[in-house]
Amino acid sequence: MKLLGIAAVDHGGSLGRASALFPHAPMPFVDLSTGINPHSYPLFDLPATILSRLPEAERLRELAGIAANAYGAPSAMHVAAAPGTQILLPRVASLVRPGKALVLGPTYAEHARAAAIAGHTAAEVGDFDALAEADLAVLVNPNNPDGRIVEREKLLRLAGELRARGGLLVVDEAFMDVGPAEHSLAGDVCAGGIVVLRSFGKFFGLAGMRLGFALADPLTAERLQAQLGPWAVAGPALEYGVRALADTEWQAGMRRRLAADAERLDALFGRYGVAVAGGTTLFRYLVLPEAAHLFSALGERGILLRHFAERPQVLRAGLPGTDEEWQRLESALAGWASRRDDALKEIGR
Amino acid sequence: MKLLGIAAVDHGGSLGRASALFPHAPMPFVDLSTGINPHSYPLFDLPATILSRLPEAERLRELAGIAANAYGAPSAMHVAAAPGTQILLPRVASLVRPGKALVLGPTYAEHARAAAIAGHTAAEVGDFDALAEADLAVLVNPNNPDGRIVEREKLLRLAGELRARGGLLVVDEAFMDVGPAEHSLAGDVCAGGIVVLRSFGKFFGLAGMRLGFALADPLTAERLQAQLGPWAVAGPALEYGVRALADTEWQAGMRRRLAADAERLDALFGRYGVAVAGGTTLFRYLVLPEAAHLFSALGERGILLRHFAERPQVLRAGLPGTDEEWQRLESALAGWASRRDDALKEIGR
């Protein structure tokens, strides 16, 4: 168990840092360092008043209803809408009085940081059962980066135990849009003691928009929304949220497309001897002894994966978007593999 | 002194509510219920990646530097950027441990609400000197809605007193873009114990964008930014902020234009016997016995002013934007005045 503080943490998705790391890489970078869908929801025009006027409270309520429907929450009253889930994390962690926060790790590092900001003693644990001792228990389901899934039944049991002594279970379902939906707790927030986080930007490929949701019992949802105040969600994010979350046809098609892309990516890695150990259809999880070398070799060729400073044998790879990106990944992998094979021959000689 | 809770408060700028209030008004409404500049900063195209990718940390730092320069803060390290100042209010109020929050009123009601959310006992006081007894003292400078200005010297003295016993002075300079700049505390945040709030959306006419800043000593600014987490500002807001806050030519021209518009508005009201009692060049403050009647009469003609439930003799009027809006306001005022004059004759008869 590792105690965690509030220092800023490292993330994927920064081209600024990538350029500093790989100054000679061919531009533009193929950024596979995030789990953001490269096939964004189609952009559409917005009237200028969406930018010039304050967002309407009524439109926010409409968005809450559509989000409840899309995510399977009981009603709009169970939804708080925010400019991204990130900004919600310390607020959600503050729903229980400062105590012991346990985060099921390894996972998205901001959870422990947010818990520490909220005054908790925050630690990561590797064992699900250890979460029962927490005042605030946090897990990501499916997990980032390994795709680990905790079953709904187990989660509900844990939530019941925590609730009985005033604790809170936070389930970050940032990647639950690509399933498995039967393990979502979105429909189970009524009883209290559970907050589910849903991210708009990842599945819809609009991370720059900043839109996210907390699903909770109505009192908690109202409390979170009050903390954010009126106009928490920007006009453009409101409009995209209302349209995209109601577009079940696009969503179903995109789930199929991402599943096919993920399969294609696994096959591509497999061809070069890199086995995929898990993930979701928005990102794949690679475990290999030469991970650090693969990260650098691809980086120098302008392909960014996500590496993790403290786990040098692990990588995460998002999906390429265009044919060109697939080709650049393939040729970078081929280049890396041939150098590796040469090196192995060298050793064998 | 009135104790204030955390219930939602009423605001201007909602067309939904306006339609419910004035169902037979000619559409569209001329919305003068806010202090938002009707002449928005010119819209420009953004690459799709601004929406699809996570905002870059480097760009946020650049924005902080440009904002420091535009507002007169000592450096980028003294700036925390947020998706609107609104979302900062409870965070800023939480910088001091729960105690006595005093807000110089009457003013923007969200300050007291945010202080209550942060656990303070929040009250409005009418007298500046009373603020010295607070743990958290809040005022809006220039004030909304009456335009009252508190001089920098007085503010610095108050800040010194509060600081000496661990208190905090929050100055909301939401309308300071239109001056008087010599009374801004933006350059005085180094010493600590002062947080200055600056709003992007009002002066630049882009309220739907959600962008605002806290200026503070570097430790406090960093703490606020950490609370908001990475990617606090959406991609489009980042890009508009970077461009518009650096565009000093547009800003200077706009200040002149708003001053001329405000003068024109005062003259128009004066022509119909409505004296303007204060305000800034982004909104005018009207005090008249028949305020409630004027509000309704204009509302029925599709012109929305801001009224205040608890002060029936007061109205706030934003600036019309287009020639058509000016004309509709003028003819609505003329209609109201002729009915009023008829009624007066009736009484005189």
Q: What structural domains does chain A harbor?
A: 11-40+249-348 (3.90.1150.10), 49-246 (3.40.640.10)
Full 3-state SS string of A175-244: CHHHCCHHHCCHHHHHHCCEEEEEECCCCCCCHHHCCEEEECCHHHHHHHHHHHCCCCCCHHHHHHHHHH
**What is the model's pLDDT at position B309?**
85
**What is the model's pLDDT at position A341?**
84
**Residue contact A226–B6, C-beta within 8 A:** yes
Nearest-angstrom CA–CA distance, B282 and A73: 42
**Could you report the per-residue pLDDT of B240-296, keeping only the tens digit for each?**
999 999 999 999 999 999 999 999 999 999 999 999 999 999 999 999 999 999 999
Global confidence as pTM? 0.94
Residue B35 gets which letter from DSSP? -
User: Which residues lie across from A214 on neighbouring strands?
Assistant: A80, A197
**A228 neighbors A50 (Cβ within 8 angstroms):** no
All residues of chain B having their beta carbon less than 8 Å from the beta carbon of residue A242 are: none
Q: How far is CA A31 from CA A13, A299, A332, in A?
A: 7, 10, 13
Give the 3-state secondary structure of residue B203: coil
**What is the model's pLDDT at position A230?**
93
Distance of CA B57 to the CA centre of its chain: 28
**B189 neighbors B215 (Cβ within 8 angstroms):** yes
Nearest-angstrom CA–CA distance, B312 and B326: 25
**B336 neighbors B298 (Cβ within 8 angstroms):** yes
User: Which residues lie across from A172 on neighbouring strands?
Assistant: A140, A197
**Residue contact A83–B210, C-beta within 8 A:** yes
Q: What is the mean pLDDT of residues B120-137?
A: 97
**What is the model's pLDDT at position B17?**
87
Q: Is the pLDDT of residue B326 over 90?
A: yes
Q: What is the largest CA-CA distance in chain A?
A: 73
**B315 neighbors B307 (Cβ within 8 angstroms):** yes
Token code pair at residue A344: 């192995």
**Residue contact B227–A89, C-beta within 8 A:** no
Question: Which strand ranges, in their side-by-side order, compose the sheet holding A283-287?
Answer: A276-280, A283-287, A314-318, A306-307
Q: Tokens 């950024």 sit at which residue?
A: A31
Q: Which among B113, B142, B108 has a CA at the least distance from the CA of B34?
A: B108
**What is the model's pLDDT at position A7?**
65
Residue B10: band (very low, low, confident or very high) from pLDDT cuts 50, 70, 90: confident
Which residue among B16, B51, B229 sits closest to A87, beta carbon to beta carbon?
Answer: B229
Q: Tokens 């009374």 sit at which residue?
A: B183
State the ipTM, two decimals: 0.92
- The angle formed by the CA atoms of residues A32, A35 and A36, to the nearest 5 degrees, is 90
Which residue among A16, A48, A83 sits closest to B83, beta carbon to beta carbon?
Answer: A83
Best probe of the B interface among A11, A85, A110, A231, by most B CBs < 10 A, is: A231
Nearest-angstrom CA–CA distance, A288 and A315: 8
**Residue contact B231–A86, C-beta within 8 A:** yes
Q: What is the mean pLDDT of residues B158-175?
A: 97
Reading phi first (left if > 0) and then psi (alpha if -120 to 50, else beta), residue A277 is in alpha
**What is the model's pLDDT at position A294?**
96
| Residues in chain A where the model's pLDDT stays below 70 | 1-8, 348-349
R_g of chain A, CA atoms, integer Å: 21
**What is the model's pLDDT at position B297?**
96
Nearest-angstrom CA–CA distance, B186 and B21: 40
Token code pair at residue A158: 């844990």
Token code pair at residue B131: 């603020």
Best probe of the B interface among A52, A110, A238, by most B CBs < 10 A, is: A52
**Residue contact A234–B208, C-beta within 8 A:** yes
Token code pair at residue B151: 């001089």
Nearest-angstrom CA–CA distance, A65 and A242: 9
CA–CA min distance B216, chain A (Å): 19
**What is the model's pLDDT at position B4?**
53
**Residue contact B227–A117, C-beta within 8 A:** yes
Q: Is the pLDDT of residue B2 over 80?
A: no
Question: Which strand ranges, in their side-by-side order, compose the sheet holding B2-4?
Answer: B2-4, B121-125, B100-104, B136-140, B168-172, B194-199, B212-215, B79-82
Q: Which among B87, B82, B65, B83 has a CA at the least distance from the CA of B74?
A: B65
**A179 neighbors A152 (Cβ within 8 angstroms):** no
All residues of chain A having their beta carbon less than 8 Å from the beta carbon of residue B48 are: 40, 43
Nearest-angstrom CA–CA distance, A297 and A304: 10
Q: What is the mean pLDDT of residues B226-242?
A: 96
**What is the model's pLDDT at position A4?**
54
